[in-house]
Copies of this chain bind each other. A is one copy, B any other.
Amino acid sequence: MDRTMTSSADTTTEPALIALDWGTSSLRGFLMDGGARVLAERATAHGIQNLPQPGPAGFDAALAALCGDWLDAHPGLPVVAGGMVGSAQGWVEAPYVATPADATTLADRAARVETASGRPILIAPGVLHDPAGAPPDVMRGEEIQIAGALAENADWARNACIAMPGTHSKWVRVSDGRIAAFSSYMTGELFAVLKTHSLLGRLMPADREASPEDEAAAFAVGIRAAQSAGPGDLPHQLFATRTLGLTGRMPAEALAHYLSGLLIGHELRSGLALLAEMPAGTPLLLIGAPALCSRYGRGLAAFGVTPSAQLGNTAPRGLFQFATAAGLLPIGTAANTMSAP
């Protein structure tokens, strides 16, 4: 799954940074210029839980396989990384920094590891949110994407709510350019675990897809159920995934879409309550995989909410911000010009 692309027609631009988005199941590398443009991008499945060999050598081997040629061709280029590579199970641990946090906070508390060749890599920490009277929450990787998103629009940096759908979705309150607070939702993992390991998955056929109409209808039924839910109702509403199938009220191949709508609907219900506590007019941004963001967009529409923007992969730009804040890039780069009005 190696792929290389040139994202800009301006191939004369000089490389200025090698940025790594290193998660649990994948490793993405970006060769970037001094204007935060991605010159080339590559990905492998060598996430930290899928390294080519165990132990620290596995990280070195994964890195060499992904972009050994970049490292060789540009021996002076700084290398930065974000994501699970900085967790306790990663290459080196970069402990969580507390909210409020921004790219500067991340850079101040970054961890450093040397590759086998002696080349240093600066690894970003995750973020801990520890509100009074509630359990703490954590993110690792999303803080980089957020830094990238905020670099794109000074208005968002001042005040925004960022929804990041995924295995562990995040709803993030941004204020004064920093991550002020956030909540994680186990939506994606709940869906996968219930579909694969619970009674609810038994009625879902593995070999048939729902028609677009059935899919949309089932998803909408799930969203509506979430909209009508009282506190505590989810464990009951989940069971309907079974009874709707058992009684033939919903086609078997559409049941997973009811489950998806129900779980996303509950996340939206809770997340939008957080948004409602923010200043009127606070923009809502969606960051994530396009197909999933589209699904969230349909759910949000049922709540009468339209996101201000839907962003794709903002990680390279965030890693660029991180590298800049760490002083690894010369003055005059895109990041520094960002703060100009």
Contact = CB atoms under 8 A, between A and B. Distances in A.
B185 A138 contact: no
Interface in A120-140: 128, 130, 135-138
A325 B244 CA distance: 31
A267 interface: yes
A211 interface: no
A249 interface: yes
A235 B263 contact: yes
Contacts of A200: 186
A109 interface: no
Interface in A251-309: 263, 265-271, 273
Contacts of A137: 239-240, 243
Contacts of A138: 243, 246-247
B232 A128 contact: no
Contacts of A194: 193
A114 interface: no
Contacts of A234: 232, 234-235, 266
B270 A230 contact: yes
Given A193-B193, A230-B270, A235 B187 contact: yes
